[in-house]
Copies of this chain bind each other. A is one copy, B any other.
Amino acid sequence: MAKDLVFGIDIGGQSAKYGIVNMGGDVLAQDIWETATPPTDAKEYVDTLARALKALLKKAGVAEDRIFGIGVGAPNGNYYNGCIECAPNLPWAHDKVEFARMLEEKMGIPVKLTNDANAAALGEMKYGVAQGMRNFIMITLGTGVGSGIVIDGKVVYGHDGFAGELGHTIAVRDGRACGCGRNGCLEAYCSSRGVVRTACEWLETSSVPSSLRDVKEITSKAVGEAAAAGDVLAIRVLEYTGTILGESLADFIAFSAPEAIILFGGVTNAGKYLLDPTQKAMEENVLNLWKGKVKLLRSGLNQSDAAILGASALGWEADA
């Protein structure tokens, strides 16, 4: 039987999303494993996941031997050795877990693994706005800030498999404390948590009236919605976020001279309130030779499918 399908799996702290994808990028079937209290043992995690994958095949009426490969996107996933290493949000992966090997043995299907941002870049290249592009940078603005860098049509993995940690370049020297233990990282400002932090700081230190003062739990979504409703403080928070992001993007361009930078993730739902100041700061700060030449784009993928699609793109690289 033709091996014309792949599995795409997106491993997160709160859930694992997985789907069966064809070569055209259609998600034929998908499901989610909510892992609010995930197993603390890696073997148990893999066993449970493998059962879930087989259940999905059965439910979708897909024969197992049609699956060419399994692609996995996971925090701290290492493309070279298929391991997940010291992932802070995965209790079963605080040490080095040979995830790809374990899942491969359990399923009898080749597995390729990378981190979630690299998977997103692959998905964008295969199915999204980066189709046909050979040089671009994907920035994922979610709970954290991740990046996937594509040069000459290939994801950059670097010497050790961990290249592309642009969320942990210093955006503000001696700035805010970051979860990584250092100060001033891009992630501390431009992740959803960073947006919330800016909003909370400003609400506390200023007396500007804001609808956010009535919000019980401030989220980046709430900030985006307040901005769209004309809330001045929320608009300024997103301007500040976008300016810092744009300044950093200008430096990233000097590294790899990409055709485009593609933004993805929940924070981008703020739309023009984030993107306009980002574009402005990027153009103002980039070296003359690139002014007006590098596109700033939003992901072309449906956000709920994107994680599965991105991981699935890697499934086509899996070989026995």
Contacts and interface: CB of A to CB of B under 8 A. Distances in A.
Interface of A: 134-135, 149, 151-152, 154, 156-166, 168-170, 172-173, 180-182, 247, 250-252, 254-259, 285, 287-290, 293
Given A149-B256, A151-B156, A161-B257, 14 more contacts: A135-B158, A151-B151, A152-B154, A152-B156, A156-B255, A159-B257, A159-B259, A160-B293, A162-B257, A163-B255, A166-B254, A168-B287, A180-B288, A182-B287
A183 to B, nearest CB: 10
Contact of A257 (B154, B158, B257): B158
15 contacts: A135-B158, A149-B256, A151-B156, A151-B158, A156-B256, A156-B257, A158-B256, A160-B290, A164-B254, A165-B289, A166-B254, A166-B255, A169-B251, A173-B247, A255-B255
B256 A165 contact: no
A95 to B, nearest CB: 14
Contacts of A163: 135, 151, 255-257
B247 A170 contact: yes
A252 B254 contact: no
Q: Which 7 A-B pairs have the closest CB atoms?
A: A158-B257, A163-B257, A159-B259, A135-B159, A169-B251, A165-B254, A168-B287
B258 A170 contact: no
Which residue among A159, A169, A180 has the maximum number of chain B CB atoms within 10 Å of its CB?
A159
Which residue among A170, A252, A255, A259 has the maximum number of chain B CB atoms within 10 Å of its CB?
A255
Nearest to A255: B255
B159 A258 contact: yes
Contacts of A157: 257
Nearest to A136: B159
A134 B293 CA distance: 30
B256 A287 contact: no
Which residue among A151, A166, A180, A247 has the maximum number of chain B CB atoms within 10 Å of its CB?
A151
